[in-house]
Chain A
């Protein structure tokens, strides 16, 4: 392993490790406040998440949504843009998939229907992610604020569509889709019975591999990363920075939106108001802890999915919202640790070099 690779790996991984350690310690304190033993709580958590097939499958289900949304955020961040709109993009994607699935005649073969539904989801993401990209490129509108505001607009718009146009009586969801549903994993692994984990999990893994390939192996990804690192140098070299921004936000929006298919195509088979439940925000943590690397995102998504599934198992001991507290601590520690660790590493190297 080359020296420069080792240094880069150190810089990439250390902040995540430091942040997780800090969260672990503060988590201990909280658990002790409830008069429980941290070791006991953590082991119950792991047990609940990984100790039985159902729990593990649920972890995979949650990993799927978080991976898609985390990839959407990470891709935009690689272009230097902060996409806080994954929550709205997830919803728009789910809605898009549901609309296509509802419009298709029953009995449409899966090989036709599933890709069409995925396209429907992607279209939702294209709109909700592309708009902030265009506003940024054309008018310099700050994407953080625009995506936040757009979340509210999208959710309100979808709420209106559901309530006024598409509702199934006495519910807040659309009718069921006629076609495009994908099999649950329990059809292949019976032990997963009862879990919502489904084939879209593999779509998420495929999306991560595609992201890695795109970012690090294609000229488009090369230009995208160059834009994120040094927009002035990218512009100098002939890369059209504004176009890269639009493309990154549109692609990011589409990736996040595909996360909505996990719920619609794999689980409930309809779009339901409020199904995202903050996954789009948690995905920000996923992207950051995964250091914006597609495979890092998958691992971080799995980690946060484990926390959230494990949180259910410890509810008898401590409130499951403990998990949200831990998530907040991880993000905060991460944000504080990245500049700090980088500085420490650089000065340590300088001493070694001198």
Chain B
């Protein structure tokens, strides 16, 4: 395989990670735990499939997918911000709910328990770079970095995640900031799912297959910094490309390459590579 193909394949694999990690980063920096990324992605993938199926337009699919991510982002927001539900528990519930709902609706609409009919996607071309979602995914990292560090709202997100009382004391509506942040994370992670569904031209059950958790791993391994998290996504995608390329070659078993993101995250959390410091108010309900 030539280097160009290797790089393009790595980038394509990285796209859903980049979307989801960027989204997760926004929510976590605002103080909301992002175990929900898997659910947001799956919901995005499913909604995009429905949108594209009924309109015949991939663009409508993208919009529908974003809306699907947004919907569950807001659900997580209402549960954790309004009702102060435990953020970890709410995250698990949202994931379960999406897995169940996508299957139930799949049954209801298409009478299938496994996959949707073929839907319209983008003309990706051989390298895959004809797909605008690839470019959007690559852009999501600078966009989120820009949002966090260059806009007034980014400052407020950081304040809400580090010291919500301080933010509230200068008149910032911490609840509103957290709602918006978790909504943004829903939309971005949803777009990660959209890319998967439209790239494969259909929705299949549980098609995100744990990618949301790899995205969380990237956020933590990237120490809650958008650029480092983006780098972690690329690193994990490289490992995955290697895994695909090396299959059957012998050497390292594919399962071990698949473990890389998870092991690295555990190592990072244990502080063996310098401390990974989470936003101080992460997981804490604002009151």
Contacts and interface: CB of A to CB of B under 8 A. Distances in A.
Chain B: interface size category: 35 or more
Given A153-B262, A321-B100, A141 B107 contact: no
B178 to A, nearest CB: 15
A142 B107 contact: no
Given A33-B108, A324-B103, A328-B94, A153 B269 contact: no
B89 A331 contact: yes
B96 interface: yes
B208 interface: no
Interface stretch (A90-98, A121-129, A235-243, A334-342): A334-342
Contacts of A150: 262, 266
Grouping DSSP codes into helix (H, G, I), strand (E, B) and loop, the B interface class, with mixed when no group exceeds half, is helix
Nearest to A152: B262
Contacts of A197: none
Contacts of B139: none
Contacts of A258: none
Contacts of A318: 104
Chain A: interface size category: 35 or more
Interface string B228-262: 00000000000000000000000001011011001
A11 to B, nearest CB: 16
A82 interface: yes
B270 A139 contact: yes
Contacts, number: 142
Contacts of B96: 281, 285, 324, 327-328, 331
A332 B269 contact: no
Interface in B52-103: 75, 79, 83-86, 88-90, 92-101, 103
Contacts of B270: 135, 138-139, 141
Interface in A136-181: 138-142, 144-146, 148-150, 152-153, 156-157, 159-160, 163-164
Contact of B253 (A141, A164, A328, A334): A164
A231 B262 CA distance: 29
Interface of B: 33, 35, 75, 79, 83-86, 88-90, 92-101, 103-104, 107-108, 113, 210, 213, 216-217, 220, 253, 255-256, 258-259, 262-263, 265-266, 269-272, 278, 285
Interface of A: 30, 33-34, 82, 84, 135, 138-142, 144-146, 148-150, 152-153, 156-157, 159-160, 163-164, 281, 284-285, 288, 318-319, 321-329, 331-332, 334-340
16 contacts: A30-B104, A141-B266, A141-B269, A141-B270, A145-B220, A148-B35, A156-B256, A284-B92, A285-B93, A321-B113, A325-B100, A328-B93, A331-B92, A332-B90, A332-B94, A339-B85
